[in-house]
Structure 1
Amino acid sequence: MKRTPASPARPQRGVALLVVLWACTLLAILLGGYAMLARTEGLQARYQFAQTQAHYAAEAGVVRAIYGLQDPQPQQHWVADGRSYPFDFDGVRVSISVIDEAGKVDLNAATPEVLQNLFRAAGMPDAKALALAKNVADWRSFATTTPGVGIDPAYALAGRDYGPRHGPFATIEELQMVLGMDPAVYRVVASQVTLWSGRPSPDPATAPPLALAAIPGMTPQQAQALSAARQASQPVPGMVAPQGVTHSIRSEATLADGTRAVLRATVRLQGLRPGAPPYAVLRWQEGDGE
């Protein structure tokens, strides 16, 4: 009996089945990738939305602080000594603190003694604090100690291609350029210094902790008592917080899911004059980094 040869369709069907399986596998991989991409984009969109919500809540906190400083009812005025004022904005918790710039160490007006005390309170040894205070005074001084020399020899010896400005500090960040300024010390003192008070020494009624320690004659016990009274929102006998015009505002907004935004602004109040803005922004920063 003659045998019938095997049909060529069977191996073709096997190959087709493999192609279908590979196609299904590839399609599953592609679909999984698209699903992961869509999930990632969804998470990013939610994160960006939450960050935006927190940011605008923090901005609302800055505006609320400006209003509190200029409240038409004097007894409702906010005290600009660093105490915290809670605020709720559309379900977002906002914590606001305000410091009068008069309570900070003015880089352009503070005495060398105040500067030395500030750097010592920030952790510098006495000798380095004294040298840095002298360098700050030299930086802002109009009188050059080395006439006719392009770069100060001390700065050149330290590898700097610049010397002191011999003029007022233009920004707080410029303090980092002064010879002897340690980055760690700068991070500590940056929030304690200002360009806008014009005072040789901080006002103790509103000075933050390190600036308080920089005041000549201020003992640790006195500084501790002042800080404790502020935290308890108690008046200090014989000391009245001034109603200055230039203030630093820190506004921190926190959502229910923990998303957080921090804004820091230095503003100058300009009063309620027809056609004029009620305040001017002198400095604006996002986050707590310096």
Structure 2
Amino acid sequence: MESRSDSGFALLVVIWATGILGLLFMTYIVAARYRAIEAASLSQHARAEAMANIGIKIAILDLLSGTSQGKARSGRFGSDGTPVGCSLGDGWTLAISVADEGGKVDFNTANMELVDALIRGVNANGEAAAMIVRNIRG
């Protein structure tokens, strides 16, 4: 025959085991929820990256249109960087802009005469421009 203290100990062990199992179950549920959130985030990221690649390819095809026939380019994207909206399926919209890279100066490869002329064109003060060019050279 069991004593009264043994039955209390058994009840305590059962309650403790039930609590541990409940904690493990809740941990599993929370982990599964976070895995689902992470999967949805990765899916959205992959989809956004694919849409960006599509936008780049659309812009490249537009820029190359008409060049093989020797005609002037008359695409839908201007070279001033104004975005043009393109509607895709499932509610996705791309804003594609094309900017002309001509006329930009790379200070790493440009000769100092070009840098000097550029700075003098921006700044009317010749002494300040000369000082800037000297600092760039130094």
Q: Same fold (TM over 0.5)?
A: yes
Q: TM-score, normalised by structure 1?
A: 0.38
Change (3 A) 1:114 1:30: farther
Contact 1:80 1:98 in 2 (8 A): yes
Q: TM-score, normalised by structure 2?
A: 0.73
Structure 2, unpaired ranges of 5+: none
Q: SS of the counterpart of 1:104?
A: coil
1:113 to 110, 116, 122: 116
**Matches of 2:44 and 2:35 in 1, distance apart?**
14
- Taking the TM superposition and a 5 Å limit, the aligned residue runs for 1:38-53 are 38-53=32-47
In structure 2, the CA distance between the partners of 1:81 and 1:106, relative to structure 1 (3 Å rule), is farther
After TM superposition, give the deviation of residue 105 of structure 1 in Å.
1.8
Q: Which amino acid aligns with 2:23?
A: I
Q: Partner residue of 2:102?
A: 102
Over aligned residue pairs, what C-alpha RMSD do you find?
Answer: 2.9
Aligned counterpart, 2:56: 62
Q: Classify 1:99/1:27 alpha carbon distance in 2 versus 1 (closer, same or farther; 3 Å).
A: same
Question: Equivalent residue for 2:77?
Answer: 78
Residue 132 (structure 1) shift = 4.4
2:24 is matched with: 30
Structure with higher RCO (Cα < 8 A, 6+ apart) = 1
8 Å Cα contact 1:61/1:96 also seen in 2: yes
- Structure 1 pair 93–11 and aligned structure 2 pair: CA distance change class (3 A): same
Q: Which residue of 1 aligns with 2:93?
A: 93
Q: Which runs of 5+ in 1 are unaligned?
A: 1-6, 136-290
Which of the pair has more CA radius of gyration?
A: 2
Asked if the contact 1:105/1:114 (under 8 Å) is kept, the reply is no
> 1:116-138: CA deviations, max 9, x gaps?
46998xxxx86874344335xxx
Contact 2:116 2:130 in 1 (8 A): no
Q: Deviations over 1:60-112 (max 9, x none)?
A: 00001011112348433532222212222333221122122213223424611
Percent identity, please: 29
One-letter amino acid matched to 1:83:
T
Match of 1:130 in 2: 133
Distance 2:102 2:8 in 1: 86
Structure 2 letter corresponding to 1:89 = L
Q: Distance in 2 between matches of 1:92 and 1:118?
A: 44
Equivalences, count: 125
